[in-house]
Structure 1
Amino acid sequence: MRARSAAARKRVRRQLFSEPFHHQQVDLHVFDFADDGRIVFLGESYPGEIFSGKGTIGDMPVDCIEPASQLMFHLGYDHDENDLHDVLLLCQKYGFDVPEEYLE
């Protein structure tokens, strides 16, 4: 999620902690944008195009990582029940095949 201004960031925070959302979990990851437009997360660099997704938090529109890349980021590590939940929702909503490592 990238809010475009301080006012937009305040609206997102207000939305996250207001009814009915304050009892739900939102998975946020903080990353940087490199000068060339790439995304840097935990020392790894990714193409900026992955941040072309659109979503909402409540009624607030937000930019986010597009669905295929969200699925890709769930691969290659020991996943837990939350990861399985996220992957199954992504696959169901966007018509992706469930990755082999989640079928084991």
Structure 2
Amino acid sequence: MTPQDKLSAKQLKETAKLEAALKKSKEKLESKALKAQRKVQEQEAKAKEKEKVAAQQLKQAHKLEALKQKEKKKEANELLKQDNMYNRWFGGCLQQIQVRYAQEKGT
């Protein structure tokens, strides 16, 4: 083997080592990139799930508020009905008192 052959063999060996190291580094980087991509996808999925839950909670809150308003309206109508009944009853009582008063005055 000539010195030039030895040098060529040494250079080939070093090139092979460098290529192997480069390949290994590339694989590590690709692995890290894939891992990071999965993590981002998981975070996006979690964010979408949280958004979905928040939307459902907001919808439920609106339904609850609408139900409360409906109940308040129903209660207000019932109170108005009772108030009208009381006013009619009280008006009737006043009329009876006026009639009795007029009868007593007339006698």
Q: What is the TM-score normalised by the length of structure 1?
A: 0.16
| Greater relative CO, 1 or 2 (CA 8 Å, sep 6+) | 1
Q: Of Structure 1 and Structure 2, which has the larger fraction of its residues in helix?
A: 2
Q: Highest CA radius of gyration, 1 or 2?
A: 2
Q: Of Structure 1 and Structure 2, which has the larger fraction of its residues in strand?
A: 1
Q: What is the TM-score normalised by the length of structure 2?
A: 0.16
